Amino acid sequence: MWGGLARPFAAGFFLTLGALTAIVLGLAISSLSTVLIYIAIALFVALALDPLVRFLVRRGIKRAWGIVITFAALAAVIAGMLWIVLPPVVRQVEQFVRDVPSIVDDILHSEAVLWLENTFGDSLSDVFDEIQSFVTNPSNIAAIGGGLLQVGVNVVTAISGAIIVLVLSLYFLASLPKMKNALVRLSPARSRETVAEMTRQITESVGGYLAGMVVLAAMNAVFAFILLTILGVPFAALLAVLAFAITLIPLVGSVLFWVGATVVTFLTNPTAPLTAIIFAVTYLVYMQIEAYLLTPRVMNRTVSVPGSLVVIGALVGGTLLGLLGALVAIPVTASILLIVNQIIIPRQDAKKRGV
């Protein structure tokens, strides 16, 4: 009798213990989410820089010196970009904050808004008046940004996070061959050759993809800056920085920036809608050139992913991890497809043949 009761109690005890352990692990992972994100970013940065290091190694340079040269070049590029881009971006952010009330006032007194007021009556005028009074109040703008103290905390956090990521990526890049060998040795001896080849293809595909996306985003930002400057649009440098960040998102990033920049171009000069039309048409032409000419050349060494999976992966990754998730979702999807095509499907075919 007591033995029969002991088993349910033991089973309940172990089930409860397992549930508590799962909860504790979940809380630990949640607490370490920032650290895990830093590790993931650093790993992908290392994979993105690895093709350049391997290129230098093939030219007879030792891997250690190749890593030093790569990071020195990266530091020079980042320093040059900050020196060139940061001052005008800071000035334009300040100018944008100062000009928000006047921009809103110009919009509210534009012909389109006046037509809406005349068509829909005084209720719409009251709504526009509330919008204008809200935007022209500096305290409301500060509240939207979380206050100056919160902005400063976010800036310090971003800088410290960038330093951590760079240091981790340096260590990952230096130990990448050892990490690959360790992964291969963890697999059974009969599968090590296949695992080694899969690891090589996945790391090269991920590294090539990430490097290619950075190149395409930089080209997008340069083109947007030149076009906006020619058209005389305010905040060209700020919009170019946004273009670089947004167009890192595959497929939908260019479209999002195209729509957003067109709206900003119109709002900054509502009396001259032709400027927004010229920008929209010109950038649309560039998007077609990028899709059919630039992207195939830059991405020629990466694993192809169907367009539907690209969109789904970008949406899922963006929902989970924001911009980082949208960026890394495609190489992760490509890696999964590679594993499915070269491991799972051949095994299923072998079962069908009765092997």
Contact 279, 235 (CB under 8 A): no
Give the list of residues 6+ apart from residue 271 with CB closer than 8 angstroms, or none: 106, 110
pLDDT at 161: 77
Model pTM above 0.85:
no
Q: Which of these, 267, 274, 260, lies nearest to 231 by C-alpha position?
A: 274
Instruction: Place 11 in a pLDDT band, splitting at 50, 70 and 90.
Output: low
Residue 282 has pLDDT above 90, yes or no: yes
Give the list of residues 6+ apart from residue 286 with CB closer than 8 angstroms, or none: 220, 223
Q: Which helix (H) or strand (E) element contains residue 171?
A: helix 147-174
Q: How far, in whole angstroms, is CA 253 from its chain's centroid?
A: 9
Instruction: Compute how many other C-beta atoms are within 10 angstroms of the C-beta atom of residue 53.
Output: 24
The amino acid sitting at 341 is N
Q: Tens of pLDDT along 110-132?
A: 666 666 666 665 555 555 566 55
Residue 355 has pLDDT above 80, yes or no: no
DSSP letter (8 states) at residue 301: T
Q: Tens of pLDDT along 19-61?
A: 777 777 766 666 666 777 788 778 888 888 888 888 888 888 8
**DSSP output for 264-304:** HHHHH-TT-HHHHHHHHHHHHHHHHHIIIIIHHHHTTTSPP
Q: Which of these, 106, 149, 147, lies nearest to 128 by C-alpha position?
A: 106
Q: Tens of pLDDT along 248-268?
A: 877 778 888 999 888 888 877
